[in-house]
Amino acid sequence: MDLFVSKYINKIDKKGRVSLPSSFRNVLPKANRNEIILYKSIKTPSIEGCGVGRLQEIAKRINNLDFFSEDYDDFSTSIFSEIITTNIDKEGRFLIPEELKLYASIKTEAAFFGQGHYFQIWEPKKGLKNTEDSRRRLLKEKKSLRMMLTQQK
Amino acid sequence: MDLFVSKYINKIDKKGRVSLPSSFRNVLPKANRNEIILYKSIKTPSIEGCGVGRLQEIAKRINNLDFFSEDYDDFSTSIFSEIITTNIDKEGRFLIPEELKLYASIKTEAAFFGQGHYFQIWEPKKGLKNTEDSRRRLLKEKKSLRMMLTQQK
DNA sequence: CATATACCCATTGACGCCCATATAATCCCA
DNA sequence: TGGGATTATATGGGCGTCAATGGGTATATG
């Protein structure tokens, strides 16, 4: 499996270390299995993460923008300076930078949610609530979608 | 990782020395790991820096501008004539020239912002505000930033 | 000779590496 | 197929190493 799936709740120890779920570690390419990137989620109070390979793609994409344009600087600043690389130790653990923990209100436990090509890290309660909310939104939309489809003009 | 990412705030000591963040040092080619170039950012009150190898890339970018445009001369002059090379000592520290410190209002602390193939040095408060402003500008076109981060291939 | 810069050494705290344990998952063979 | 044995995962803690920082001294450069 080469996708981040399922959810896990792991403890953060005194040193601030937390285990990246084993199944997530296996998604990382064997070459760079000991490093991940983390950044603030744009839409939610959570942290998003993935392997460093994605960083190369992002760099390439930004590099293709007009070097002297304002967008170039904005993207470059918002993405590169906000991304944090962190190392995974021999036991599969890593450190969540203080700034990111604050952003996500994470203290003693971290909830990992697979999102396919990336994953999210939440404060457990917030994460579970977010899952419920998402599901509720989906059901609501589905319902209205069905109405739209069956409704007679 | 061969890109400048993340941000760091380091102190400038009495002698004017400041540590180049360790992760930035590792981006520099092993051959010229003890030398960087610095120049005034064109669009912001900050200093930009990178390894000496990047000079070639900058030259190429400028060459791609219309040779007869005003921009060509302006960029060419403002960048090349202002470039300063600086040595990094055994402990990974270097001196920021007085003129550049003035330009960026840097006094006792320097904030390093990764920008991919180069980095910026800011007076901490100004730098953080700049990051916020950049993000705010981009969020108006919310989709683009999100796409940049999560898009596949 | 005076100032600036490079080199050397020291300190502190953070982080990586190593070892250890408990629980859970898997295996393997009778 | 049952049940002990092996392996893997999550977690805890000791300790050495490295990064950031401070300061003394030699050296250079005008």
B76 contacts chain A (CB < 8 A): no
Answer yes or no: is pLDDT of A152 > 60.
no
A94-128 confidence digits (pLDDT tens): 999 999 999 999 999 999 999 999 999 999 999 99
- Chain A residues closer than 8 Å to B131 by CB: 77-78, 81-82
Asked if B138's CB is within 8 angstroms of A39's CB, the reply is no
Asked if B5's CB is within 8 angstroms of A80's CB, the reply is yes
Q: CA-to-CA distance for B12 and B106, rounded, in angstroms?
A: 9
Q: Which of A55, A74, A117 is closest, CB to CB, to B137? A: A74
B19-49 confidence digits (pLDDT tens): 999 999 999 998 888 999 999 998 899 999 9
Task: Enumerate residues 84 to 143 of chain B having a beta carbon within 8 A of any beta carbon in chain A.
Answer: 113-117, 120, 130-131, 134-135, 137-139, 142
From the number of C-beta atoms within 10 Å of its C-beta (0-12, 13-18, 19+), residue A27 rates as buried
What is the secondary structure of A14-65 as a DSSP string?
A: TTSEEEPPHHHHTTS-GGGTTEEEEEE-SSSSSEEEEETHHHHHHHHHHHTS
- The CA–C1' separation of B129 and C3, in angstroms, is 37
How much is the pLDDT for A67?
Answer: 80
Indicate the CATH number for domain A7-124.
3.40.1550.20
Helix then strand then coil, in percent of chain A rounded to 5, is: 40, 25, 35
Of A48-57, A136-145, B32-41, B94-103, the least confident: A136-145
Q: CA-to-CA distance for B112 and B8, rounded, in angstroms?
A: 5
In words, the CATH class of domain B7-150 is alpha beta
Q: Which of A43, A75, A77 is closest, CB to CB, to B148? A: A75
Percent above pLDDT 90 for chain A = 67
Mean pLDDT, rounded, for B87-95 = 95
Instruction: Please report which confidence band the pLDDT of residue B73 belongs to, taking 50, 70 and 90 as the band edges.
Output: confident
Nucleotide with C1' nearest the B88 CA: C6
